[in-house]
Amino acid sequence: MLDYIFFDPVTCERFQRFVEQRGLSARVESDPVNEHVRNIRISDEIDEALWDEIDAYYDGLLDDSREELEAETGEEDLRVAGIHVELEDGRRTLARVDPAIMGKLMGVLSGAEISDLVHAVARSVEHPDDTPICKRSYAEE
């Protein structure tokens, strides 16, 4: 599946119409951490030319949204990044991360690898273990 994130419901609806006008199903979901954020999921089994067209439209919508927000806030650099963290009790939170660091992470690790890293850190925070690392088995993690 291809995931597209939206912080504005009007922009989300425009993108959904665009995708559906091209004969694709667009599944809209609320973000589990922030109910104001919407995610649109579409099948990744589409023609490359159509994929390029959809990505170009999405990028244009994001540029328009950024320009509107910059005009409203007076801020020119609105880049933000975060990582979802699921805690053992099932709660989810969003850890804000410096966008430059997140860009570097995403340049060398897959989303699944970043998720595994975050999960290991969260588990270690929730269950501290003072055993020397050389005495622990990876299977115990």
Kindly report the CATH number assigned to the domain that includes residue 9: 3.30.70
Percent of the chain with pLDDT over 90: 16
Q: Is the pLDDT of residue 140 over 60?
A: no
Same domain, 136 and 90: yes
Rounded CA separation 123/141 (Å):
9
Q: Give the end of a domain, one of 73, 106, 121.
A: 73
The whole domain housing 102 covers 81-140
Residue 69: predicted pLDDT: 65
* pLDDT at res. 139: 60
Q: Taking all residues of the chain, what is their mean pLDDT, rounded to a whole number?
A: 82
Instruction: Tell whether the model's pLDDT for residue 73 goes beyond 70.
Output: no
Q: How far apart are CA 35 and CA 30, in angstroms?
A: 6
Whether residues 8 and 50 share a domain: the answer is yes
Beta bridge partners of 6: 38
**Do residues 121 and 100 share a domain?**
yes
Q: Who wins on pLDDT, 93 or 38?
A: 38
Q: Which of 18-27, 49-58, 82-91, 132-141 has the lowest mean pLDDT?
A: 132-141
Same domain, 54 and 85: no
Task: Compute CA 50 distance to the chain's CA centroid, rounded to the nearest angstrom.
Answer: 22
Q: How many domains does the chain fold into?
A: 2
Q: Are residues 37 and 20 in the same domain?
A: yes
Asked whether the whole model's pTM tops 0.75, one would answer no
Cα gap 112→26, rounded to integer Å: 23
Residue that terminates a domain, selected from 73, 101, 122 = 73
Q: Which of 34, 50, 73 is the last residue of a domain?
A: 73
Please state whether beta strands 27-30 and 92-97 pair in parallel, antiparallel, or not at all (unpaired).
Answer: unpaired
> Are 133 and 91 part of one and the same domain?
yes
Among residues 72, 53, 75, 65, the alpha carbon closest in space to that of 9 is found at 65
Angle between helices 99-108 and 111-126 (to 10 degrees): 120
Rounded Cα distance, 137 and 141, in Å = 7
